[in-house]
Amino acid sequence: MAGILTSAKFLERYGEQLRRATADAGLEAELITVPPDPEARLSDEQCERIELAYYSSDLIAGPLARSFFSALYRAPRLSWLHTRNAGVDHPIFGRMLARGITLTTAAGATAEPIAQSAIAGLLALSRGFPAYADAQQRHAWEPAEDRGRPDLLDQTLVVFGLGAIGSAIARIARAIGLHVVGVRRSPAREGHPVDELHHPDALPSLLPRAEWLALACPLTAATRGLFGAAAFAAMPSGAHVLNVARGPVVDEPALIEALRSGQLGGAYLDVFEEEPLPEDSPIWDLPRVIVTPHNSGASAGNDARAAGIFFDNLVRWSRGAPLRNVIREAGE
């Protein structure tokens, strides 16, 4: 019998679907839940029966995360951890991988909402909505001149990172007429919705063309601080940045300076080096900058989509089939 560790809230909402998934998989399972008291611990006997675990959204956002991972550290038979997160740059996931535990994510569950937010930011910046919002607050009627609004059609968008989120951004961007250049490190697969596809090594030659730069990559040693003063200086004057990746992918002081100087014409930022964004951060008051609180993926259907990926993987796991969204190194 395989012990599955999850939360009581997850079972309350998805328990019936989980039971159907285990039945479809032909898996005899024991459902083990994290104690509702953050100070309580599972018994050693319970931990010894845990073979797989689901790190659900209520655990991520609540006080029981410590209890959840405490149980996993004491689970000698644990072989697979599935997390509701798409990103796994937290050190705890690296420690799980170091134990030889298979790690999978719900990557793709929030891809469409995040991509829609990124494109909403792009359109708002392109059409001057921050200036209109400022004028509205001042009750000022300030029409823009035609020449102050460059046509978006045929402008170039470089999407750095073509996972589920980056691919969704690229698909929507092409639909509204942008020329989309995708950048990804792994070999190309058929069907990428881009006009051009390049390896990250080509980035220096792509930045001078990037009127728009969308960051949708994981935070790794290679991407940390990758976009700084040199990158922004290489972009066309007045270019824009959309960051729905991770805050530390960008050198924040360099970004602020590029925005202040006008080298960058604006930015949509959902992620930051420090979160919550400090009240005294100059980013709050920069013109032509749209800030959202690491919330670009908020959407009612996310949990159901994430749970569906877990249930699909559960059937695959029981049959020895390849799992979806396998992470091979922390930060992917």
The model's pLDDT over 201-258, given as tens digits with 9 standing for 90+, comes to 999 999 999 999 999 999 999 999 999 999 999 999 999 999 999 999 999 999 999 9
3-state secondary structure of 170: helix
For the segment 293-305, the average pLDDT, to the nearest whole number, is 97
Query: What CA–CA distances, in Å, run from 316 to 24, 25, 313, 320?
Result: 10, 8, 5, 6
Residue 240 is a catalytic residue: no
Sign of CA dihedral 73, 91, 103, 66: positive
- Phi then psi for residue 152, to 5 deg, are -75, -30
For the segment 23-51, the average pLDDT, to the nearest whole number, is 96
pLDDT at 62: 87
pLDDT at 116: 99
Catalytic one of 142, 275, 319, 329? 275
Pick 330 or 211 by higher pLDDT: 211
Pick 62 or 98 by higher pLDDT: 98
Query: What CA–CA distances, in Å, run from 328 to 87, 93, 114?
Result: 12, 10, 24
Residues 84-136: tens digit of each pLDDT: 987 798 899 999 999 999 999 999 999 999 999 999 999 999 999 999 999 99
pLDDT at 29: 96
Tell me the pLDDT band of 2, cut-offs 50, 70 and 90: very high
Catalytic one of 82, 192, 246, 288? 246
Tell me the pLDDT band of 331, cut-offs 50, 70 and 90: low
Q: What is the rounded distance in angstroms from the CA atom of residue 25 to the CA atom of residue 319?
A: 7
pLDDT at 36: 94
**In the chain, what are the domains?**
2-109+300-327 (3.40.50.720), 112-291 (3.40.50.720)
Q: What is the rounded distance in angstroms from the CA atom of residue 52 to the CA atom of residue 85?
A: 16
For the segment 306-316, the average pLDDT, to the nearest whole number, is 97
pLDDT at 332: 52
Tell me the pLDDT band of 296, cut-offs 50, 70 and 90: very high
Catalytic one of 41, 171, 294, 316? 294
Tell me: pLDDT of 168 over 80: yes
Tell me the pLDDT band of 279, cut-offs 50, 70 and 90: very high
Residue 294 is a catalytic residue: yes
Q: What is the rounded distance in angstroms from the CA atom of residue 295 to the CA atom of residue 176?
A: 24
Q: What is the rounded distance in angstroms from the CA atom of residue 82 to the CA atom of residue 314?
A: 9
Tell me: pLDDT of 65 over 80: yes
Strand partners, 43: none
Q: Which residue has the tokens 């796991």?
A: 317
pLDDT at 251: 99
For the segment 156-176, the average pLDDT, to the nearest whole number, is 98
Residue 275 is a catalytic residue: yes
The pTM assigned to this predicted structure is 0.92
